[in-house]
Protein backbone atom coordinates (compact mmCIF):
# COMPACT_ATOMS: atom_id res chain seq x y z
CA UNK A 1 0.00 0.00 0.00
CA UNK A 2 1.53 3.28 -1.14
CA UNK A 3 0.05 6.73 -0.82
CA UNK A 4 0.83 10.10 -2.36
CA UNK A 5 1.85 12.37 0.51
CA UNK A 6 2.45 16.14 0.43
CA UNK A 7 4.57 17.64 3.18
CA UNK A 8 5.95 21.16 3.31
CA UNK A 9 5.39 21.64 -0.43
CA UNK A 10 7.13 18.37 -1.43
CA UNK A 11 5.49 15.18 -2.71
CA UNK A 12 6.44 11.69 -1.54
CA UNK A 13 5.19 8.12 -2.00
CA UNK A 14 5.11 5.72 0.92
CA UNK A 15 3.10 3.86 3.51
CA UNK A 16 4.33 5.46 6.75
CA UNK A 17 5.21 9.01 7.74
CA UNK A 18 7.07 10.18 10.84
CA UNK A 19 7.91 13.76 11.78
CA UNK A 20 9.85 14.33 14.97
CA UNK A 21 11.99 17.31 15.92
CA UNK A 22 11.70 18.86 12.42
CA UNK A 23 13.01 15.67 10.74
CA UNK A 24 10.90 13.80 8.18
CA UNK A 25 11.02 10.04 7.58
CA UNK A 26 9.05 8.20 4.89
CA UNK A 27 8.97 4.41 5.32
CA UNK A 28 11.74 4.74 7.95
CA UNK A 29 14.05 6.59 5.53
CA UNK A 30 15.11 10.03 6.80
CA UNK A 31 14.58 12.68 4.13
CA UNK A 32 17.17 15.44 3.55
CA UNK A 33 16.75 18.83 5.19
CA UNK A 34 14.75 20.01 8.17
CA UNK A 35 11.17 21.20 8.35
CA UNK A 36 10.50 24.65 9.81
CA UNK A 37 7.49 26.71 10.78
CA UNK A 38 3.96 25.45 10.22
CA UNK A 39 4.12 21.99 8.67
CA UNK A 40 1.14 20.46 6.93
CA UNK A 41 1.05 16.72 6.38
CA UNK A 42 -1.55 15.82 3.75
CA UNK A 43 -2.32 12.34 2.44
CA UNK A 44 -3.72 13.29 -0.96
CA UNK A 45 -4.15 9.91 -2.60
CA UNK A 46 -4.47 6.40 -1.23
CA UNK A 47 -4.02 5.51 2.41
CA UNK A 48 -1.07 4.98 4.71
CA UNK A 49 -0.42 2.44 7.44
CA UNK A 50 0.71 5.02 9.97
CA UNK A 51 1.25 8.73 10.43
CA UNK A 52 3.12 9.99 13.47
CA UNK A 53 3.90 13.64 13.94
CA UNK A 54 4.48 16.16 16.66
CA UNK A 55 2.48 18.51 14.38
CA UNK A 56 -1.06 18.73 12.94
CA UNK A 57 -2.03 15.95 10.51
CA UNK A 58 -4.47 16.08 7.57
CA UNK A 59 -5.06 12.53 6.29
CA UNK A 60 -7.46 10.56 4.12
CA UNK A 61 -7.58 6.97 5.33
CA UNK A 62 -5.06 5.71 7.88
CA UNK A 63 -4.63 2.60 9.99
CA UNK A 64 -2.84 4.28 12.90
CA UNK A 65 -2.31 8.00 13.50
CA UNK A 66 -0.69 9.98 16.27
CA UNK A 67 -0.57 13.79 16.15
CA UNK A 68 1.09 16.11 18.60
CA UNK A 69 -1.50 18.74 17.72
CA UNK A 70 -4.83 18.35 15.87
CA UNK A 71 -5.69 15.31 13.74
CA UNK A 72 -8.03 15.73 10.73
CA UNK A 73 -8.91 12.47 8.92
CA UNK A 74 -11.55 10.66 6.91
CA UNK A 75 -11.57 7.01 7.98
CA UNK A 76 -9.34 5.28 10.52
CA UNK A 77 -9.16 1.50 10.68
CA UNK A 78 -7.10 1.42 13.86
CA UNK A 79 -6.40 3.66 16.84
CA UNK A 80 -5.67 7.38 16.81
CA UNK A 81 -4.35 9.86 19.35
CA UNK A 82 -3.81 13.61 19.38
CA UNK A 83 -2.42 16.24 21.69
CA UNK A 84 -5.28 18.46 20.54
CA UNK A 85 -8.59 17.80 18.83
CA UNK A 86 -9.53 14.83 16.67
CA UNK A 87 -11.81 15.69 13.76
CA UNK A 88 -13.08 12.74 11.71
CA UNK A 89 -15.22 12.91 8.57
CA UNK A 90 -15.90 9.18 8.42
CA UNK A 91 -15.56 6.24 10.77
CA UNK A 92 -13.06 5.05 13.37
CA UNK A 93 -12.92 1.34 14.07
CA UNK A 94 -10.45 1.64 16.95
CA UNK A 95 -9.80 3.78 20.01
CA UNK A 96 -9.53 7.57 20.12
CA UNK A 97 -7.38 9.37 22.68
CA UNK A 98 -7.42 13.16 22.53
CA UNK A 99 -6.59 16.00 24.88
CA UNK A 100 -9.05 18.20 22.99
CA UNK A 101 -12.57 17.67 21.66
CA UNK A 102 -13.49 14.77 19.37
CA UNK A 103 -15.80 15.61 16.47
CA UNK A 104 -17.14 12.89 14.17
CA UNK A 105 -18.90 12.92 10.81
CA UNK A 106 -17.95 16.50 9.96
CA UNK A 107 -16.79 18.05 6.69
CA UNK A 108 -13.04 18.51 6.73
CA UNK A 109 -11.29 21.68 5.53
CA UNK A 110 -9.64 21.30 2.12
CA UNK A 111 -6.66 23.54 2.93
CA UNK A 112 -4.87 24.80 6.00
CA UNK A 113 -6.33 28.25 5.26
CA UNK A 114 -9.81 26.80 5.88
CA UNK A 115 -8.82 25.31 9.24
CA UNK A 116 -10.65 26.99 12.15
Q: What is the DSSP string of 11-64?
A: EEEESEEEEETTEEEETTEEPSS---SS--EEEEESEEEEEEESS-EEEEEEEE
- In the structure, what pLDDT confidence band is assigned to residue 113 with cuts at 50, 70 and 90? very low
Q: For the chain, give every domain's residue range.
A: 3-108
The model's pLDDT over 45-78, given as tens digits with 9 standing for 90+, comes to 888 888 899 988 887 777 888 999 998 888 888 8
Q: Residue 29 pLDDT > 70, yes or no?
A: yes
Distant-in-sequence contacts of 60-69, Cβ < 8 A, 24+ apart: 60/3, 61/90
Q: Residue 98 pLDDT > 90, yes or no?
A: yes
Q: Mean per-residue pLDDT for 78-98? A: 90
Amino acid sequence: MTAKIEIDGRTFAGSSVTIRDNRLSIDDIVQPGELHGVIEVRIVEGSVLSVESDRTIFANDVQVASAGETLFCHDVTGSISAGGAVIVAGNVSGDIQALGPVLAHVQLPQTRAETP
